[in-house]
Amino acid sequence: MMKKPLILKINPQEPEIKKIQIAADIIKKGGLVAFPTETVYGLGADALNSRAVLSLFEAKNRPLDNPPIIHVENMKQVQELVKKVTYEAKMVMSEFWPGPLTLVFKRSDIVPNTTTAGLSTIAVRMPQHKVALALISESNCPIAAPSANLAGRPSATSAEHVFADLNGRIDAIVDGGTTQIGVESTVLDMSVTPPQILRPGGVSFESLKNSLDDLELHPFVVTRKKLPIDKVRSPGMRHKHYAPNAEVIVVEGEVQMIVCKVTELLRHYRFMGKKVGVLATDETIGLYGTAYAKSLGSRSNLDSIAKNLFRLLRDFEIEGVETIIAEGVSAKGIGLAIMNRLRKASGYNIVKAE
C-alpha cells in the first residue's frame, strides 16, 4: 500500500516552476501524478514507460482493454506518436488545440502496447491548462492520463475528489483548484472516414461541424439504451461510467413535464423508504417543496451545469442519498455531453416525461 500522496498546491494561472519540477521528477521516475486540466483532473504517467502505465491502470482499477488519452505539449510529440497527421486533422488542431478535444489516429511504433491497450490507434490531446502544459514540458515526455477517479466513478473536478478516490494509490496530487469545464474532452476519431465523435465533451458537435464537412456521431453517443457490444467501437463504451454509489434516474422531456414526473417519482421512492435527492436546475428547484434538491445551475447556462454535474453527484453520495432523480437538459452544445454522462451514470435508467 502506498502512503498518502504528496499534495502540491499550485497557482493555476501562474504555476510555480519548483512545484512543477517536483511533480515532473515523479513522472520521470515512473510514478503517478494527478493534475488539473481544463476539463477534469487527469492521473498522469510517462506514456512511453509501459511499467508506469501499467501501474496507472492498477491505481484506477481500470480494465486493461481501455487505453488512456495521451497528453502532449507540442506538435513534435504528436508526430512521434502517430503514423500520419492528415490535412483535415491539422485544420481541426489549429482551430481547437490546445483545448478539450482528443483526436484518435493510427499509432506509431514507439508507443508501448500497454499504453494503447493493444489497439492500432492512439488518442492524443493537447490540453489548455497551464499546469498540465508545464507538467508535460518539464517531464519531457508525452503523459498518459485517464481521468483521475476510480474506474466507473464520476470524474474528479477538484483535488479533493481525486484524494477521495485515489488516496494510498498514487504518488502526488497537483492541486490547482476546481476545473473549469467539468466534463471530459470530446473524443474525435480521425482514423476513419468520415471522422466520428466517439465521446461528446468540451468541444461541441456543432462547432466541430463548422470545421469538418463530413462528421458523424457514433450511435453510442446519442443512445438512450445500452447498445450490444459489437456495436461499440471505443473501448470506453463497454464499461460502466460516471456512476456514484447511488441509484440514478434521469427524467427527460419538456421542462413542465419533467417537474411533474420528478415529483411523482420523488413521492414513490420516499414511500419506499429511500433517501432521495433531486438534481434540479435554478428554474425548477423551488417547485419540489421541501424536497432534498440541489441545483446544477440555470438551464440557460449549460456551461455551469457541465461544471457542477460530477461534483453534485459526489455530494449526494457523501450525504448518503440512495436514489438521485436527475432532470434532463437540452442536448444542444455542451448539453450533449451532459446528457451522455447522465444517461451513463444512470446505467440508462431513463424515464420519458410525457
Q: Name the site residues for ligand TXA (rule: CB under 6 A).
A: 37, 39-40, 42, 66-69, 102, 104, 119, 121-123, 125, 127, 145-147, 184-185, 187, 198-199, 234-236
Contact present, 104 and 122 (Cβ < 8 Å): yes
Can you give the length of the chain in residues?
354
* Minimum distance, C-beta of residue 75 to ligand TXA, in the bound complex (Å): 18
**Nearest 10 degrees: CA dihedral of 156, 345, 338, 219?**
120
* Minimum distance, C-beta of residue 58 to ligand TXA, in the bound complex (Å): 14
* Minimum distance, C-beta of residue 40 to ligand TXA, in the bound complex (Å): 5
Q: How far apart are CA 65 and CA 56, in angstroms?
A: 13
Q: Which is nearer to Mg ion, 129 or 261 (CB)?
A: 129
Q: How far apart are CA 129 and CA 146, in angstroms?
A: 16
Binding partner of 114, given Mg ion, ligand TXA, none, CB within 5-8 angstroms per partner class: none
Half-sphere exposure of residue 171: CA atoms within 13 angstroms, side-chain side: 17
Residue 49 makes contact with Mg ion by CB under 5 A? no
Q: How far apart are CA 70 and CA 30, in angstroms?
A: 15
Binding partner of 346, given Mg ion, ligand TXA, none, CB within 5-8 angstroms per partner class: none
Residues 118-147 that bind Mg ion (CB under 5 A): 147
Q: Which is nearer to Mg ion, 183 or 212 (CB)?
A: 183
Containing H/E element for 276? strand 276-280
Contact present, 290 and 215 (Cβ < 8 Å): no
* 8-state DSSP, 152: T
Residues 147-176 that bind Mg ion (CB under 5 A): 147
Quick count: other Cβ atoms within 10 Å of Cβ 30?
16
- Of the candidates 126, 120, 105, the one whose C-alpha atom is nearest the C-alpha of residue 189 is 105
* Minimum distance, C-beta of residue 115 to Mg ion, in the bound complex (Å): 16
* Minimum distance, C-beta of residue 146 to Mg ion, in the bound complex (Å): 5
Q: Which is nearer to ligand TXA, 176 or 277 (CB)?
A: 176
Residues 249-268 that bind Mg ion (CB under 5 A): none
- Of the candidates 249, 274, 279, the one whose C-alpha atom is nearest the C-alpha of residue 352 is 249
Q: How far apart are CA 66 and CA 69, in angstroms?
A: 10
Binding partner of 166, given Mg ion, ligand TXA, none, CB within 5-8 angstroms per partner class: none
Residues 58-87 that bind Mg ion (CB under 5 A): none
* Minimum distance, C-beta of residue 130 to ligand TXA, in the bound complex (Å): 14
The cell numbers describing 272, all together, are 419506499
Compute how many residues bind Mg ion; rule: CB under 5 A: 1
Contact present, 266 and 285 (Cβ < 8 Å): no
Binding partner of 187, given ligand TXA, Mg ion, none, CB within 5-8 angstroms per partner class: ligand TXA
Q: Which is nearer to Mg ion, 158 or 284 (CB)?
A: 158
Ranked by CB distance to ligand TXA, the top (closest) residue is 236
Q: Which is nearer to Mg ion, 185 or 284 (CB)?
A: 185
The contact set with Mg ion (CB under 5 A) reads 147
